[in-house]
Amino acid sequence: MAAKVAILMGSPNDAEKMASAAVTLERYGIEADVRVMSAHRSPAQVAEFASSARADGYTAIICGAGMAAHLAGAVAAQTTLPVIGVPLSGGAINGWDALLATVQMPRGIPVATVAVDGAMNAALLAVQMLAVDDPGLADALAAHREEMVPRRP
């Protein structure tokens, strides 16, 4: 089965900040399913999606949310798939609230958390997780890292 990663965001306003996640996944040939669902405005939809994600063929879930940023935690509570949280900037303290809300999960319900507005790194982390069992992805990641090495003119 081909890898498929869900990219969830709490609001349509988050689309621009989360766009690099889909672009990065697609660069590695991983299907990105982008959806908007809110832990607060549509909690039943979040629970239904997360609880059936593995059966529906997803291999990881990336969640981007700002301020209270409960989306990643609400998803992680309903699935055993890897969940990667992307705290998003905005609000009175420019993403620090979202960072703390995303990273401070209770024992037993982990959420991998990247930097504020770190959607690309979230996607790369998902690729690294999938590359554990996929030598082709591992090679592609290694090639990407090699491309990032500064070269002398």
100-128: pLDDT as tens digits: 999 999 999 999 999 999 999 999 999 99
| 75 pLDDT more than 90 | yes
pTM for the model: 0.95
Domains in the chain: ranges and CATH: 4-148 (3.40.50.1970)
Q: What is the CA angle 118-121-127, rounded to 5?
A: 145
15-46: pLDDT as tens digits: 999 999 999 999 999 999 999 999 999 999 99
In degrees to the nearest 10, what's the CA dihedral of 41, 42, 44, 49? -140
**Which residues does residue 60 pair with via DSSP β-bridges, in sequence order?**
5
